A and B are shown apart, each in its own frame.
Chain A
Amino acid sequence: MSSASSTTSGAAKPASTRAKPASKWEAAADWTDGRLGIYSLAKANLRKIFPDHWSFMLGEICLYTFIIIIMTGVYLTLFFKPSMGEVIYDGSYVPLKGIGMSEAYASTVDISFEVRGGLLIRQIHHWAALVFVAGMLVHMMRVFFTGAFRKPREINWVFGFLLLVLGMFDGFFGYSLPDDLLSGTGIRFMEGAILAVPLVGTYVQMFLFGGEFPGHDIIPRFFTIHVLLIPGIMLGLLVAHLILVFYHKHTQWAGPGKTEKNVVGMPLMPVYMAKAGGFFFLVFGLIAAISAIASINPIWAYGPYRPDQVSTDAQPDWYMGFSEGLIRVMPGWEISVWGGHTLNLGVFIPLMVVFPLVLVSIAVYPFIESWITGDKREHHILDRPRNAPVRTALGAAWISLYLVLLIGGGNDLFATHLHLSLNAITYFVRVGFFVVPVVTFIVTKRWCLGLQRRDKEKVLHGRETGVIKRLPHGEFVEVHAQLPQKDLHTLTAHEQIQPVQLPAQTDENGVARKAGVLTRTRAKLSRGFYGEGSQIPKPTAEEHHEITSGHGHH
């Protein structure tokens, strides 16, 4: 009976051609697929291959800390009052009793001392933010030094760059919200920086603060920017960033079986899911533990903000440290322009010129490099940093500049803790700003070339075994062992780009034609990047053959 009725109803209503689900679980999956098309999505992704390497997990650190920041941040908004209305503190923290402060500050002190677990969540939020930006910087450096930004990943590099910059600024806004003495000093600095903008500075300042500094609007406005505007944009960029990572498939290191046309690793389900999912919990767990043992931003100790009070050691969080360094070491230049107008170069140059330049220089690098090489191909095999000496040296120079500026930003602490003169450190940074990157560039490039030579040596003569052999005539030699095929391949898998040549000085009719400035610049840069002295020609199979067969094993 049942079979008969089902056939009749089947005839009446067109039945799905799909096989009967074997379990409730499958039925649920079928139901979802009928509405969201999850099967075709899963086909491309469920067994997607991800290569394993610790440096490929730096981006995950950023992703997970971002999620941690959002979760803890939402919790904090439940208790934080973004208001500059004045209240008299009457909580449990004795050294602030009876002191007037803004509601923003009072509520942050309450989160720390009255809300159970509030202090922990605040500290997780802040520690995760420091690690988030640090992770982004290191992630970006990994991508830079391995050349993972090359086609087809330039756009994703820019997305990542924007995430870094937005992360830095959102961190700064978050640092400003509690309205403690340190954060207020930071806002005051920002006000001064805005005032230094020519023409519109005072207008921007008045509009941003709703009047004169500090006014009553800046904290609520920063709050909206900090919790809504910037995180919203970042979330969008982050999703786009991840979609592109999936779409492009991950890059991989050179090695046996690894080519530009494949990606070797373990499938998303189950290995990568377990490892990446587990890593989230590892990251969260570690940051929670750090927040249990180390204090961060003890706003209760700073006291409430008052524009006439300040504490020494007034620094921003580390990721703004390089801009702090820039502004600390800049000479106090102030000039008069257009009769009676003041241009505060002491603030304008470091913040409006050099600061963006430092950041943008890394953002545009992939486009500059691809212009110089003229390489239009896709790249999925990573460069070892030594095999791109000029790029590696440029990256190292950038990092050295960044570090010099960080020293400048903490010059007072370096002075007290290393018993140096504050002024001497500032002078050092002024000179170091120009000299250290150049020295770093030269040293790094030479170092890379040395490593290339060592690789070549290893390929041609094998590795040192540490075994000393005495030859019949008394000479001692160390036995070198021939590298296995996979190592020989790995060490020679990289390609060596040849510098572009200037087009012939005369065309086919013998008429002289001059290459344009751009063409000549490009050729010159290309020689600098890939010419003689910028890479060691890698060993050829012939060389290898000659040595291994001719002289035998050394």
Chain B
Amino acid sequence: MAALVVLLLALAATGGLYAAFAPASKAQADVTAQSLEIEEGKKLFAVGCSSCHGLNGQGSSDGPSLVGVGTASVDFQVGTGRMPAQQPGAQVPRKKNIYSQAEIDQLAAFVGSLGPGPVAPKAEQYTSTNPEDISKGGELFRTNCAQCHNFAGQGGALTKGKYAPSLEGVDAKHIYEAMQTGPQNMPSFPDTTMPEEQKKQIVAFVRHTTSDEPNPGGLTLGSLGPVTEGLFGWIFGLGTLIAVAIWVAAHTTKAKKS
């Protein structure tokens, strides 16, 4: 009996002790992990980014300061392969991403530590489960986005060789981050003027339109409006009809070639 009491007391004490100390050590561990991540990020940054943005992200003549751009910006720019940029031009294009997500997170942590800015979203922020979000997002998309990215997210021209890129195949997270941060010449749509919920709706619409949405009428011809329709009408419409007309009007082959 006494043994049992001692055991229970011991267990309680251990539990108590654990309860008292464990959170602190976890927080300790978190802080350590974070500073470790920032350290790692700093190393990656020095190799891949510092030649343009400076060793401490202060910017140079070749690249802007990254103080205050936030982790969302890094996640977008590196995650879509835009950064590191290959060459200067009217616009830095999307290309194959060369970093792992873990490395991107480390880079983001480092840049995030330079100054507060938009924070990369969590999955639940950009993943919509409500089908009504699609139509609400559609209306918001047409007010805020379609003027550059076209009604079906196919992108469009801007001035002097710049362009709004196609949204086809872009990750939901990256669409969300682009709205948060306003990469390159795209204006930003911060949470103060476009709340998280609305961003989620826009993402739902874009993902639906560019990937799930069927094309009931047949070939979309690029969803680019009347220009491609006109080309198709001339080539396959009138073109085929003229080919048929040639058959209709041609003389039938003679039995004996003269």
Q: Which residues of A contact B (CB under 8 A)?
A: 52-54, 56-58, 60-61, 94-99, 112-113, 119, 123, 127, 130-131, 134-135, 138, 181-182, 275, 278-279, 282-283, 286-287, 290-298, 301-303, 306, 308-319, 321, 409-413, 415-416, 419-424
Contact assessment for B209 and A301 in the assembled complex, using a CB-CB cutoff below 8 Å:
yes
Contact assessment for B250 and A309 in the assembled complex, using a CB-CB cutoff below 8 Å:
no
Contact assessment for A134 and B226 in the assembled complex, using a CB-CB cutoff below 8 Å:
no
8 Å CB interface, B128-157 against A: 131-132, 134-136, 138-139, 142-143, 146-152, 154-157
Chain B interface residue count, Cβ-Cβ cutoff 8 angstroms? 63
Out of B146, B151, B237, B251, name the residue touching A131 (CB < 8 Å): B237
Contact assessment for B244 and A282 in the assembled complex, using a CB-CB cutoff below 8 Å:
yes
Contact assessment for B242 and A412 in the assembled complex, using a CB-CB cutoff below 8 Å:
no
Q: Report the bound CA distance from A422 to B219 in whole Å.
A: 27
Within the complex, the shortest CB–CB distance from B159 to chain A, in Å, comes to: 6
What mask results when residues 189 to 231 of chain B are scored 1 for a CB within 8 Å of chain A, else 0? 0000000000000000100110001011111110111111111
Out of A56, A119, A412, name the residue touching B216 (CB < 8 Å): A119
Which residues of chain B are within 8 angstroms of A293 by Cβ–Cβ distance? 218-219
Contact assessment for B229 and A421 in the assembled complex, using a CB-CB cutoff below 8 Å:
no
Which residues of chain A are within 8 angstroms of B240 by Cβ–Cβ distance? 286, 290
- Residue B236 CB within 8 A of the other chain: yes
Contact assessment for A56 and B218 in the assembled complex, using a CB-CB cutoff below 8 Å:
no
Contact assessment for A318 and B226 in the assembled complex, using a CB-CB cutoff below 8 Å:
yes
A134 and chain B: residue at smallest CB distance: B238
Contact assessment for A130 and B139 in the assembled complex, using a CB-CB cutoff below 8 Å:
no
Give 26 pairs: A residue, B residue, CB < 8 Å, sorted on A: A52-B250, A54-B246, A94-B135, A95-B134, A97-B134, A97-B135, A130-B233, A130-B234, A134-B237, A279-B244, A279-B245, A282-B241, A282-B244, A287-B237, A290-B236, A290-B237, A294-B232, A298-B216, A303-B151, A310-B147, A312-B156, A312-B157, A317-B229, A318-B231, A422-B157, A422-B160
* Given A119-B216, A127-B237, A309-B142: A321 touches B227 (CB 8 Å cut-off): yes
Of A112, A134, A181, A297, the most chain B CB neighbours within 10 A belong to A134
Contact assessment for B227 and A313 in the assembled complex, using a CB-CB cutoff below 8 Å:
yes
Q: Report the bound CA distance from A97 to B205 in whole Å.
A: 12
Contact assessment for A127 and B233 in the assembled complex, using a CB-CB cutoff below 8 Å:
yes
B243 and chain A: residue at smallest CB distance: A54
Out of B163, B208, B219, B245, name the residue touching A415 (CB < 8 Å): B163
Within the complex, the shortest CB–CB distance from B71 to chain A, in Å, comes to: 31
A135 and chain B: residue at smallest CB distance: B238
Out of A113, A130, A312, A313, name the residue touching B237 (CB < 8 Å): A130
Within the complex, the shortest CB–CB distance from B23 to chain A, in Å, comes to: 46
Which residues of chain B are within 8 angstroms of A413 by Cβ–Cβ distance? 157, 224, 227-228
* Given A131-B238, A286-B241: A99 touches B150 (CB 8 Å cut-off): no
Which residues of chain A are within 8 angstroms of B155 by Cβ–Cβ distance? 416
Contact assessment for B234 and A298 in the assembled complex, using a CB-CB cutoff below 8 Å:
no
Contact assessment for A312 and B159 in the assembled complex, using a CB-CB cutoff below 8 Å:
no
Which residues of chain A are within 8 angstroms of B90 by Cβ–Cβ distance? 421
Which residues of chain B are within 8 angstroms of A97 by Cβ–Cβ distance? 132, 134-135
Which residues of chain A are within 8 angstroms of B160 by Cβ–Cβ distance? 421-423
Question: What does DSSP make chain A's interface, helix, strand, loop or mixed?
Answer: helix
Of B134, B143, B226, the most chain A CB neighbours within 10 A belong to B226
- Residue B186 CB within 8 A of the other chain: no
Contact assessment for B156 and A412 in the assembled complex, using a CB-CB cutoff below 8 Å:
yes
Out of A130, A302, A412, A424, name the residue touching B230 (CB < 8 Å): A130
Q: Report the bound CA distance from A311 to B142 in whole Å.
A: 7
Contact assessment for A95 and B226 in the assembled complex, using a CB-CB cutoff below 8 Å:
no
B250 and chain A: residue at smallest CB distance: A54
A98 and chain B: residue at smallest CB distance: B135
Excluding A303-B142, A416-B156, 5 further A-B contacts by CB distance (< 8 Å) are A127-B233, A290-B236, A301-B209, A303-B151, A318-B234
Contact assessment for A295 and B221 in the assembled complex, using a CB-CB cutoff below 8 Å:
yes
Contact assessment for B220 and A295 in the assembled complex, using a CB-CB cutoff below 8 Å:
yes
Q: Report the bound CA distance from A94 to B229 in whole Å.
A: 25
Which residues of chain A are within 8 angstroms of B237 by Cβ–Cβ distance? 127, 130-131, 134, 286-287, 290
Q: Report the bound CA distance from A52 to B245 in whole Å.
A: 10
Contact assessment for A309 and B143 in the assembled complex, using a CB-CB cutoff below 8 Å:
yes
Within the complex, the shortest CB–CB distance from B98 to chain A, in Å, comes to: 23
A293 and chain B: residue at smallest CB distance: B218
Q: Report the bound CA distance from A316 to B225 in whole Å.
A: 9
* Given A52-B251, A131-B238: A298 touches B223 (CB 8 Å cut-off): yes
B232 and chain A: residue at smallest CB distance: A294
Contact assessment for B223 and A317 in the assembled complex, using a CB-CB cutoff below 8 Å:
no
Contact assessment for A275 and B248 in the assembled complex, using a CB-CB cutoff below 8 Å:
yes
Which residues of chain B are within 8 angstroms of A96 by Cβ–Cβ distance? 135, 138
B156 and chain A: residue at smallest CB distance: A312
* Given A303-B151, A317-B229: A416 touches B217 (CB 8 Å cut-off): no
Q: Report the bound CA distance from A326 to B206 in whole Å.
A: 34
Q: Report the bound CA distance from A293 to B215 in whole Å.
A: 10
